[in-house]
Amino acid sequence: MDKNNKIFVNDLGLCSYKKAWEIQENLLGQIIDQKLENRKNKNPLDTNNYILFVEHNPVITMGKSGDNKNLITNKKHLEELQIEYFKTNRGGDITFHGPGQIVVYPILDLENFFTDIHKYLRLLEETVILTIKEFNLNSARSLGETGVWIDPETKYARKICSIGVKASRWVTMHGFALNVNTDLDYFNHIVPCGIKGKKVTSIKNELKKEISIDKVKVIIKKNFEKLFNAKLEGNNHFIS
């Protein structure tokens, strides 16, 4: 396995959206600076890759292509409910992050893997599909809608994982959010991902029981390694 396929893992635990965003931006900047330095000095490509796991405090985020009409509750009410709101630089529309939801932020130099954003998104989806399958839940893609769904081609379609990414010079940030034990009532304040008439769900909601967050993380890591032909390693040195 190529050494550039090594991915350093850091679990931020419960962390504010702003703090996690700053960490991502910092890591992305470090990788891009290293790439530019390598090319300037005609050195071989040698850049780090990272993946962050986090549970956020309640927050609603709007992607750069999002529609403000998909925020149903006004911002004053969100403040009263102690739900933060951020406009972000990721793709996609509006979504919610909060406790009980595993958010995964890969900060990868795709030149260490493949240079294909479409393939990258499909592999993120496949990581989640394989993970959910280990809980005897069948999930799938929905045509034209990035993310992972339960019963996507039926009137009972419900989204279990949202995906929104950004890439600069083939370096990624943002990622996916898998509802594990998430309080789904929070989604009543938005039109999730701007898709009207479809519900959201969680592993807990589907199985009618609480699920171990740590167990799900282990399975995600295993599937991520397999699909990206990578080696995930623990690493905390970049967190201040």
Q: Which residues are catalytic?
A: 193
Distance CA 58, CA 37 (A): 39
Please give the torsion angle defined by the CA atoms of residues 222, 225, 231 and 232, in that order, rounded to the nearest 10 degrees: -60
Distance CA 136, CA 204 (A): 12
Nearest CA among 30, 34, 61 for reference residue 46: 34
Nearest CA among 9, 1, 5, 3 for reference residue 51: 9
Please check whether residue 83 is in contact with residue 16, taking contact to mean a CB–CB distance below 8 angstroms: no
Q: Where are the beta strands (DSSP E) in the chain?
A: 6-15, 50-56, 59-62, 84-87, 94-97, 101-107, 140-142, 145-150, 158-168, 171-179, 199-200, 231-234
Indicate the SS3 state at residue 19.
helix
Structure tokens at 116: 């294909």
